[in-house]
Amino acid sequence: MTPTLIWTLVVLAAIGLYLSWTAGRLDRLHARIDAARAALDAQLLRRASVAQEVATSGVLDPAASIVLYEAAHGARQAEEEQREVAESELSQALRAVFAEAQQVDAVRDAPGGDEAARELTEAVRRVPMARRFHNDAVGAARRLRGHRKVRWFHLAGHAPFPMAFEMDDEPPSALAERATA
């Protein structure tokens, strides 16, 4: 073997190892996105379930109960392509119902209400964190998939392009204040 052939094989092996490492990194990012999406789905479901529980508890006025129940039910039943809109509508309903501290106090004063208010506060607080974690993973995968080497060598395989989950997740001010109090 000639030295040129040896060096060519060494360079090709190094490039192959680098591409393999990049493909593995991309695969791990996609797995992280899947795990983050599952966590986000769990937090969204928890928030909708607790909101439905509070809406049917009888401690809110009838109009607020209906608004909150309909939004929570819509979020739980939404098809995937309508999910972001339905979850944003639930966020808006929560802000409308719990705009004032008196509503939170009314829930807390009901039997078992303290626990329900605490669960709702935690669920509302965890959704933005889960969404941020998911969207950070999506951003990292998108940046890596944007590199020429990934596109040229098709290192992403047939994995779908990762999509961020965009929704209105601003918590109600009265619940946010109660969480810090």
Cα dihedral across residues 177, 41, 97, 57: positive or negative: negative
The domain of 87 spans 16-180
Residues 89 and 97: their CA atoms lie apart, in Å, by 12
Structure tokens at 91: 């966020």
pLDDT tens string 137-152: 999 999 999 999 999 9
* Residue 58, Ramachandran bin (φ over 0: left; ψ between -120 and 50: alpha; else beta): left
Residue 164 is assigned to a structural domain of this protein = yes
Helices (H), the chain: 3-55, 62-77, 83-97, 101-109, 113-145, 148-152, 173-180
Residue 5 is assigned to a structural domain of this protein = no
Residue 98: how many CB atoms within 10 A of its CB?
A: 28
| Number of domains, the chain | 1
Query: Half-sphere exposure of 175 toward its Cβ, with a 13 Å CA cutoff?
Result: 26
Q: How deeply is 79 buried, as exposed, middle or buried, from its count of CB atoms within 10 A (0-12, 13-18, 19+)?
A: exposed
Residue 4 is assigned to a structural domain of this protein = no
Whether pLDDT at 80 is above 80: yes
What pLDDT, on the 0 to 100 scale, is given for residue 72?
A: 97
What pLDDT, on the 0 to 100 scale, is given for residue 175?
A: 79
pTM over 0.85: yes
Whether pLDDT at 180 is above 60: no
* Rg of the chain on CA atoms, in Å: 24
Whether pLDDT at 103 is above 70: yes
Return the HEC string of 69-83.
HHHHHHHHHCCHHHH
